[in-house]
């Protein structure tokens, strides 16, 4: 639930050091799949926090941290699209978040990074479909307005999962652009989306790791790529 009066988690206090301290104290009580997810996600969060002057690197490392938290090892015959996978993950986390931390995050960022992402056509997938000549300009603009209306309606209805998934779909577009070499590192153009995506992920990733650690009893599924040493399975 999006509550105006709920204080959001502070990104300075809810960061790697605080979460790592807690993880070290609790990890023996975690099931192996959660322990591995949290360990990996925290390692990439630490690396992201070290990118003080590299917004591109910070975004990439934050996305890897997010991916480490949610990715599940399932039979490829039954694997849905990645967007569907993390939509289900977000819905599960929001359902477990009894303190309303995700709602507080959405409300805190709506006037900043979240609004910036919703208004930025460069992180809207169908804008690039139009650039490839596959749809008309009127069509991508219609879809853009429709998607943004959906996000704002969800905000009004306090549907945090829907808001987060709309925003994450925008972040995923930027992720594809960077990971597939469709952008220049430290480019002079299109800095707004890198800044906004990094800011939002920088708040989201520590929050979701904290919620996961709050609920070791939940079924998180086997992490992708188990730890395998020279002599077989090992501990990370």
Q: What is the pLDDT of residues 113-161, one digit of tens each?
A: 898 999 999 999 999 999 999 999 999 999 999 999 999 999 999 899 9
Q: How far apart are CA 58 and CA 98, in angstroms?
A: 29
Q: What is the pLDDT of residues 175-217, one digit of tens each?
A: 999 999 998 998 887 789 999 999 999 999 999 999 999 999 9
For 123-151, the three-class secondary structure string (H helix, E strand, C coil) is: HCHHHHHHHCCCCCHHHHHHHHHHHHHHH
- Judge whether 6 lies within some domain: no
- Judge whether 45 lies within some domain: yes
CA 197 to chain centre: 9
Average pLDDT over residues 22-38: 94
- Domain count for the chain, please give it: 1
Q: What pLDDT sits at residue 7? A: 41
Q: pTM for the whole thing?
A: 0.86
Q: Would you say 133 and 140 are in contact if contact means Cβ atoms under 8 Å apart?
A: no
- Judge whether 3 lies within some domain: no
Structural domain that includes position 204: 16-233
Q: CB within 8 A of 128, min separation 6: which ones?
A: 173
């Amino acid at each position: 639930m999006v509550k105006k009066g709920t204080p959001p988690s502070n990104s300075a206090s809810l960061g790697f050091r605080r979460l790592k301290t807690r993880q070290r104290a609790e990890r023996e009580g975690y099931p192996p799949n959660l322990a591995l997810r949290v360990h990996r996600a925290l390692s990439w969060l630490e690396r992201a926090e070290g990118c003080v002057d590299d917004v591109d690197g910070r975004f990439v490392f934050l996305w890897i941290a997010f991916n480490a938290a949610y990715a599940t090892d399932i039979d490829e015959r039954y694997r849905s699209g990645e967007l569907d996978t993390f939509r289900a993950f977000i819905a599960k986390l929001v359902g477990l978040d009894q303190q309303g931390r995700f709602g507080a995050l959405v409300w805190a960022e709506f006037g900043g990074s979240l609004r910036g992402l919703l208004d930025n056509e460069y992180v809207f997938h169908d804008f690039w479909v139009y650039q490839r000549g596959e749809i008309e300009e009127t069509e991508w603009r219609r879809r853009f307005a429709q998607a943004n209306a959906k996000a704002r309606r969800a905000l009004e209805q306090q549907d945090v999962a829907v808001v987060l998934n709309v925003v994450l779909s925008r972040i995923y577009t930027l992720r594809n652009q960077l990971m597939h070499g469709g952008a220049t590192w430290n480019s002079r153009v299109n800095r707004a989306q890198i800044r906004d995506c990094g800011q939002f992920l920088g708040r989201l990733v520590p929050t979701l790791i904290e919620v996961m650690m709050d609920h070791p009893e939940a079924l998180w599924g086997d992490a992708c790529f188990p730890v395998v040493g020279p002599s077989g399975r090992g501990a990370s």
